[in-house]
Amino acid sequence: MRFASRLNLLLALLAFGLALTLSVVAARVTDRAVEDRARDRLRREIDLLADEIGPRLGDPAGLVDVVRRASRLLGVRVTVIRADGRVLDDSDVALSEVAGMENHAGRPEVVAARATGYGTSVRHSATLETDLLYVARALGPDRSRAPVLRLAISQSELRRVEAHYEWLLRGAIFAACALLVAVAGVAVARLARPIREVTDAALAVARGDLAREAPERGPAEILDLSSALSRMKSSLLESVERVERERRLADAVFETLPDGVVVIDAHYRVIDANRGFRGMTATSDPAGKPLVEILRDRALFAPFEEAIARRVSTDAILRRENDVTWQLAVRPLPPGSRAAAVGILRDVTAFERNEAMRRRFVADVSHELRTPVASIAAAAETLGDTGADDPEAPRLVELVRRQAQRMRELIDDLTDLSLIESGQVVLTHEKIDLRALAGEISEELRATARERDVSIRIEGSDGVTVEGDRRRLGQILRNLLDNAVKFSPAGGSVRIRIDRRDGKPALAVEDDGPGIPLAEQDRIFQRFYQVDRSRSKVRPGTGLGLAIVKHLTQLHGAEVTVASQPGRGSAFRVTFRREAAETEG
């Protein structure tokens, strides 16, 4: 039952109780009032009648006449009692029976009248068998020996008069109480309405309707309650916003992680998966789906099974088609939530490729060093056995010198390459005239070229300039020119061509050497790649020259390309993005 209804019921019960009590009290009060009035009336009437009766005490017939008449006129019982208590007459008793009436000397009102002049009592009349109100008065100054006049009125007579008023009074009391209940009911309803409004607002907030305002009317207590609700709502709103912000942040981090992340429940169903996972598994909406359906690969699914079944962390490397490699880590989650495990899928293809390259690189370097080291060791051993007087000694010393030179070149190239690859080479910027540069570098190599009977020519336009690092551009040209001279047949010619194509400055190194098969033209720029290893016996090299050329041209924003046909020579071309600005130089 609601508070307001309960309050109404309580008020109604209280009002009913009050009405009952009041009506009982009212009945008593009216009883007393009626009795008092009756007593007063009887006192006045007895005084009047005493004057009439006194003179007739010696005249029995006259006395009876007055007694009976007065009784009729006043509507009361009139009794005259002698000093000795014998009844002289009684209006309510037949004349013939008066003589036989009981002695009245001991009646309390009679005794009181003799003692004080007047006496009253309310008691049951043995003669009339009813409750009566008696008022008695001694007739004469010597009260103790005087006769007594007594008037009496029946209680039921009094009640009859009083009953009418009593009912009126009761009616008024009940009407007043009913009115009280009605007024209280209205007041309770008025009080209950704002309470109900606050309750409704609180319930709406509890349902999540945080826009709902608490009512701003009603008594002070309700206003206090409303403002407490408002404060609670705003702190709730703040908490919700904070939680929402944190959830958005967590979502954003989860979603943008470069790895694929999937959270699954104990039944291997996906709870959530981020963009990385969706992309790697090519599923648009994996939530709620069985994981096995999404992975479609036993090897991928097994680590999840093991992690959940045995509650252990599992890791796996998985080789996929197209040389793609995935690394999978599955971690069981602590119990207490729907999520049972989280799987992190990482594409480690590039890493694996780098690892393979690193391994190959170490193997290549070891391989490249093994030949000169073995040659030096063998020469040193022979020299140690035979001594410096051996006719072979000069040749062996020359071999040691050459192999040591080859090792130094290899180490220099490796150091250079690693510096370039790790981004430690910082270029200087100056205006370089390509033709002048070609002149300098060709001069450096002219002696070697002459030894091989190869001519070097510089062709093309004058005044072609680029912006770049003089030493590094020289290194590019030297490596290309060195290869061209090295691979040219005796009597051959090498051309350094400087020109512009589509407004872009370029330098090319052309030779009449053996050329490079099309299939290998891309690979010659890789570290240690040599087209025909047997060639390097005749023309030693490190296999790093073109790799360095490629990196250095890239650092200059330029591009190196090769055009070649086996047996018809090769042309390496470095094309720059633009010429150096006019103002410089």
**Whose CA is closest to 576, among 548, 542, 544, 553?**
553
Count other C-beta atoms under 10 Å from residue 579's C-beta.
17
**Only segment of 229-237, 252-260, 274-282, 482-490 that touches ligand ADP (CB under 6 A):** 482-490
Residue 536 binds ligand ADP (CB under 6 A): yes
List the strands of the sheet with 260-265, edge to edge.
Answer: 270-273, 260-265, 339-347, 325-332, 314-319
Q: Among 8, 71, 403, 570, which residue sits at the site for ligand ADP (rule: CB under 6 A)?
A: 570
Count of chain residues binding ligand ADP (CB under 6 A): 22
Rounded Cα–Cα distance for residues 158 and 38 (Å): 8
Tell me which of 545, 550, 551, 556 binds ligand ADP, using CB under 6 A. Answer: 545
At residue 314, the 3 state secondary structure works out as strand
Q: Which is nearer to ligand ADP, 448 or 530 (CB)?
A: 530
Q: Looking at beta carbons only, is 347 or 416 nearer to ligand ADP?
A: 416
Q: Which of 89, 109, 511, 512 binds ligand ADP (CB under 6 A)?
A: 511
Residues in the chain: 585
Q: Return the range that interacts with ligand ADP (CB under 6 A); candidates 135-143, 224-232, 291-299, 483-491.
A: 483-491
Tokens for 212, please give them: 């709902």
Kindly state whether residue 194 participates in binding ligand ADP, applying the rule CB under 6 A. Answer: no
Q: Which is nearer to ligand ADP, 364 or 430 (CB)?
A: 364
What backbone torsions phi and psi does residue 391 show, to the nearest 5 degrees?
A: -60, -25
- Closer to ligand ADP by CB, 91 or 570: give it: 570
- To which H or E segment does residue 243 belong? helix 220-256
| Cα–Cα distance measured from residue 281 to residue 264, given in angstroms and rounded to the nearest whole number | 15
Q: In a 3-state reduction of DSSP, which class is residue 361?
A: helix
Interface pick for ligand ADP out of 67, 138, 202, 516 (rule CB under 6 A): 516
Span of 200-208, 209-217, 362-370, 481-489 interacting with ligand ADP by CB under 6 A:
481-489
From candidates 264, 512, 513, 580, binder to ligand ADP by CB under 6 A: 513
Q: Give the distance from CA 58 to its chain's centroid.
A: 115
Give the shortest CB-479-to-ligand ADP separation in angstroms: 6
* Sole binder of ligand ADP in the list 543, 551, 556, 580 (CB under 6 A): 543
Instruction: Please tell me whether residue 286 binds ligand ADP under the rule CB under 6 A.
Output: no
DSSP state of 337: S
CB of 508 vs ligand ADP, minimal distance in Å:
12
The phi and psi torsions of 211 (rounded to 5 degrees) equal -85, -15
- Span from 24-32, 58-66, 139-147, 478-486 in contact with ligand ADP (CB under 6 A): 478-486
**Should residue 225 be labelled a site residue for ligand ADP when binding is judged by CB under 6 A?**
no
User: The tokens of 435 are what?
Assistant: 């033709």
Token representation of residue 325: 């490699």
Contact 547, 527 (CB under 8 A): yes
Nearer to ligand ADP, 303 or 515 (CB): 515
CA separation for the pair 518, 543 (Å, rounded): 18
Nearer CB in complex with ligand ADP: 254/529: 529
Q: In whole angstroms, give the CA distance from residue 402 to residue 395.
A: 10
* Residues 490/453, Cβ–Cβ less than 8 Å: yes
Note whether 521 binds ligand ADP by CB under 6 A. no
546 binds ligand ADP (CB under 6 A): yes
Burial class (CB in 10 A: 0-12, 13-18, 19+), 325: middle
User: Looking at beta carbons only, is 143 or 539 nearer to ligand ADP?
Assistant: 539
262 in contact with ligand ADP (CB under 6 A): no
Q: Is 456 in the site for ligand ADP (CB under 6 A)?
A: no
Beta bridge partners, 345, equal: 260, 328
Kindly give, in sequence order, each residue whose CB lies less than 8 Å from that of residue 257, ignoring residues fewer than 6 positions away.
274, 276
Residue 553, interface with ligand ADP (CB under 6 A)?
no
**Contact stretch for ligand ADP (CB under 6 A) within 123-131, 161-169, 339-347, 511-519:** 511-519
What minimum distance in Å lies between the beta carbon of 320 and ligand ADP? 33
Q: Which of 195, 531, 552, 580 contacts ligand ADP by CB under 6 A?
A: 531
Cα 493 → chain centroid: 78
**Which residue number, 505 or 513, has a Cβ lying nearer to ligand ADP?**
513
| Interface pick for ligand ADP out of 301, 326, 487, 576 (rule CB under 6 A) | 487
User: Closest-CB residue for ligand ADP?
Assistant: 541
User: How far apart are alpha carbons 57 and 104 in whole angstroms?
Assistant: 17
Per residue, the 3-state secondary structure of 430-453, as one string, reads: EEEEHHHHHHHHHHHHHHHHHHCC
Among the listed residues 46, 484, 508, 560, the single contact to ligand ADP using CB under 6 A: 484
Least distance (Å) between residue 522 CB and ligand ADP: 11
Distances 312 to 142, 308, 345 between C-alpha atoms, Å: 127, 7, 17
CB of 551 to ligand ADP, least distance (A): 12
Phi, psi of 55 (to 5 degrees): -65, -15
Which residues of this chain interact with ligand ADP, rule CB under 6 A?
A: 479, 483-484, 487, 511, 513-514, 516, 524, 529-531, 535-536, 541-547, 570
